[in-house]
Chains A and B, each alone.
Chain A
């Protein structure tokens, strides 16, 4: 595809003429710019890119992209995107969604799009709060969290998006902080290249209603100690001094320190994102300390379009029908004179 592309885009080619209206300081700006910078690297034509969103702050995204786009209704973006992709499999289709949009009102579509493995990309802006409706708890808000709709503390235990996604047989799952534009761009490119449904959870700060919800994970001064950035084929190592790592102790992941108790780098687990069995990926997405970021799962599988395409070819080959008249005049017909 790259070879046929005549001009190389810059991020400016993907900026629409609409004024961006998110709150000043919102991570959404970072994600928007990361996307605009990643697209020229993907080798797709501008007219072949489609952004579909639901409702919520994140879902304003398509208006700001100079591509095809639809700002649809609450929760339904994965279903609409599925229709777009089935109608024209050549398009690069992106679902932009939030924690409420994807996992509350749109929970059903979210799990089914992952199950089917259609080749589209989902970017989940997880800020653990409803922003556009001004601050109610979401399906990812923590227990005890005080919000406008839980003044005495939230009593509903949250989803972990990665856990839910892997449970729905997601083939690609990545998690990334909302404050690292280059890493976000890189992950968007890899999601684009992945054949199948890819899901990226962005740990996105809401400056107004849930400010600092990830500060103890994503802030510059703590992130190396609190996050483990996973890369396929590399040891599970983290920490400012690169001296911490993960090992398997019975059925649990355990943090160890290199140099203590005779532990060396060779003892650490090596990340295998391409493994079919999601057991290890599930353990990684559940990990509280360190929080796993990077591409946690990237398992190559047959896509829905491939199955459909193969079946259509077979049916066409074996069918005697090419025009509707062939069908209408087939079987039991009779003449009236």
Chain B
């Protein structure tokens, strides 16, 4: 049962990377989520990365149907899901075949040996059974007959069909991993009690299988119980584990409550943004109006209508949806209404890689509209700070009377991390430009001198009746005015309004070095990968490498140029073909920007970054 070729010393580990892989119907996402939640509650820092195919239930056993969930747990700060695996749990041959490359030599594989039958081996294109042909001799393989052991554990539970039985074998694997890492089962059992409230036999079944796996691992003395990972040192406070998309949704809930507006969401389902809609529709108790529209265009259009009528209005989408929303976004910019557009980026172009991550919508966000059409563009950089940037997007939209595009991506949107809960009292004030009392000579386009935000007259209030529209308008009165000088003036005002947002956003800061040989630049969801790579190289003695990560993309922070000039070399790292590098070149023409790009639908790996940085400072 155990092929233990490698001598393993019991050890206390700082961090461990585990990947659960199986068929897309094997419940790997659930297994991984349970393990990461339990670890977070144990006090570990965590970072997770679900990686699943775009098919809902791809053919069983196929190589392209493999679904995976990776979790990085640590007693130290972890900011990425990790590169190389300490443990691979493979529920079938296809999972093993497609993921073995990531496992560190000498480390552990747990397999459901029942699944390594002729049919599955053929589907995974194995000529011989890897469990028998010595191809895994460099690893520590733990074989468990999970399918049959699960069946055995459930023989006395009534009312279960064959499907329900085989579906719970993922809990056997989870039980084994819980024992190996000294995790308590209670959190997961509590989860069963809630999830299967109306089916007591499913509670019993899942609990039994989880226990069976746990005790199976305990009984196998050959598994050393020494993979202890102590709690991480994190700032004190109350925490919860949160997914990026949930954090985004909650940021808007908080912004609505703080600002006193009702929240309106107009949205059309699209991967990987739909979870924000799923989350917000739940919160009718807060007065959230979440409207699933007939298409992307109606999603943003209904939000524009709601903004006109005085709601905090948002619309959520991913790349192709942003393309469809472009014209309406131009209208929102033209009529200067507050509106937040969330784009959870995925691999493009066209339908591209819907379930994979990429940062290739930056230029679309900046420039993807007809005419001179500037909007604020900001990006979140971790699952938990999606909360802050959603909040900030709403604040900027309301305070500057302009659309804001918030960019996240599939990686941080689906990833989860501990979130130190921010209660509403701690969050900054949000002002607005609503006209309240009728004044002589009120005009919809009279502007605030500092921000250039216009007056916001809300339907239902007497004295502010006015018309807005997509035709060029007269400054101040807002009436149609297509005179040449007026158009130029209005174009400049709209640009200046967005430019002035610089005065209201924080400066860009550097980590690890303030000046030196190399500045590593990133933006958005790559923070974790870049931060840990620069941190590691710094610890190796490369003290002249600094790291600057941008969350504010349009406008850029005021001190950006000053920062850039303090480094000899600059490399802009992006999961695209160099879009932010282009933006920087446009803004800072005398400076050379090197690029490091990856366009595989996957986040940066630690090693590839470190290799690149070392090359650049050699």
Contacts and interface: CB of A to CB of B under 8 A. Distances in A.
A and B part of one assembly:
yes
Interface of A: 16, 18, 45-48, 50, 52, 55, 62-63, 65-73, 76, 79-88, 90-91, 108-109, 112, 308, 311-312, 315-316, 319, 321-325, 327-329, 331-337
13 contacts: A18-B467, A68-B457, A71-B471, A72-B304, A79-B301, A80-B301, A80-B308, A82-B293, A109-B301, A315-B284, A331-B240, A334-B240, A337-B236
| Nearest 10 Cβ contacts at the A-B interface | A83-B305, A71-B469, A83-B302, A79-B301, A319-B285, A87-B309, A79-B298, A80-B305, A87-B306, A83-B306
Given A16-B467, A71-B470, 8 more contacts: A47-B462, A68-B457, A80-B308, A82-B293, A84-B309, A332-B240, A332-B241, A334-B238
Interface of B: 37, 40-41, 43, 187, 231, 234-241, 250, 253-254, 257, 262, 264, 266, 283-287, 289, 291, 293-295, 297-298, 301-311, 313, 327-328, 330-331, 335, 420-424, 457, 459-471, 479-480
B257 A324 contact: yes
B310 A88 contact: yes
A73 B236 CA distance: 51
B467 A62 contact: yes
Given A45-B462, A50-B459, A83-B313, A316 B284 contact: yes
Nearest to A77: B301
Given A324-B257, A334-B238, A66 B424 contact: no
B288 to A, nearest CB: 9
B305 A47 contact: no
Overall SS of chain B's interface: mixed
A72 B294 CA distance: 18
A309 B284 CA distance: 10
Contacts of A55: 470
B421 A333 contact: yes
A89 to B, nearest CB: 10
A189 B495 CA distance: 44
* Max chain A C-beta neighbours (<10 A), residue from B291, B313, B335: B291
B284 A86 contact: no
Contacts of B293: 79, 82, 112
Nearest to B313: A83
A324 B305 contact: no
A315 B286 CA distance: 10
A327 B283 contact: yes
* Max chain B C-beta neighbours (<10 A), residue from A52, A65, A325, A332: A332
B309 A91 contact: yes
Contact of B469 (A70, A85, A325): A70
Nearest to A112: B294
B298 A76 contact: yes
A107 B567 CA distance: 56
B266 A83 contact: yes
Contact of A334 (B40, B305, B468): B40
Contact of A69 (B237, B264, B305, B467): B467
Contact of A84 (B308, B466, B480): B308
B41 to A, nearest CB: 5
* Max chain B C-beta neighbours (<10 A), residue from A45, A69, A90: A69
A316 B288 CA distance: 11
Given A46-B465, A67-B465, A68-B459, A323 B240 contact: no
A298 B262 CA distance: 33
A69 B283 CA distance: 30
A244 to B, nearest CB: 42
A108 B305 contact: no
A329 B238 contact: yes
A312 B284 contact: yes
Contacts of A324: 250, 253-254, 257, 286, 424
Nearest to A18: B479
Nearest to A71: B469
Contacts of B254: 324
A48 B266 CA distance: 23
Contacts of B470: 55, 71-73
Contacts of B304: 72, 80, 83
A71 B239 CA distance: 47
Contacts of A328: 240, 250, 421-423
Given A86-B264, A88-B460, A71 B328 contact: no
Given A83-B303, A84-B305, A336 B459 contact: no
B474 to A, nearest CB: 11
Nearest to A86: B289
A192 to B, nearest CB: 16
* Max chain B C-beta neighbours (<10 A), residue from A67, A69, A324, A333: A324
A135 B295 CA distance: 29
Contacts of B462: 45-47
Given A63-B480, A91-B309, A315-B285, A335 B238 contact: yes
Given A323-B424, A327-B283, A332-B37, A87 B294 contact: no
B287 A312 contact: yes
A325 B466 CA distance: 38
B463 A47 contact: yes
A48 B257 contact: no
A41 B519 CA distance: 70
Contacts of A48: 459-460
Contacts of A329: 238, 421, 423
A160 to B, nearest CB: 22
* Max chain A C-beta neighbours (<10 A), residue from B237, B293, B308, B420: B308
Given A87-B289, A109-B301, A63 B43 contact: no
Contact of B335 (A63, A70, A87, A312): A70
A293 B607 CA distance: 75
Contacts of B313: 83, 87
* Max chain B C-beta neighbours (<10 A), residue from A62, A86, A312, A327: A86
Contacts of B37: 332
A88 B460 CA distance: 9
A66 B465 contact: yes
Contacts of B187: 332
A72 to B, nearest CB: 6
Contact of B294 (A108, A323, A335): A108
B183 to A, nearest CB: 14
A183 B286 CA distance: 45
A336 B302 contact: no
Nearest to A330: B240
A4 B211 CA distance: 69
* Max chain A C-beta neighbours (<10 A), residue from B250, B283, B294: B294
A18 B297 CA distance: 30
Given A45-B462, A336-B236, A71 B467 contact: yes
B426 to A, nearest CB: 10
A79 B305 contact: yes
A50 B310 CA distance: 13
B467 A316 contact: no
A333 B239 contact: yes
B311 A73 contact: no
A308 to B, nearest CB: 7
A335 B239 contact: yes
A88 B306 CA distance: 8
Contacts of B480: 18, 63
Given A86-B306, A311-B284, A68 B466 contact: yes
A88 B301 contact: no
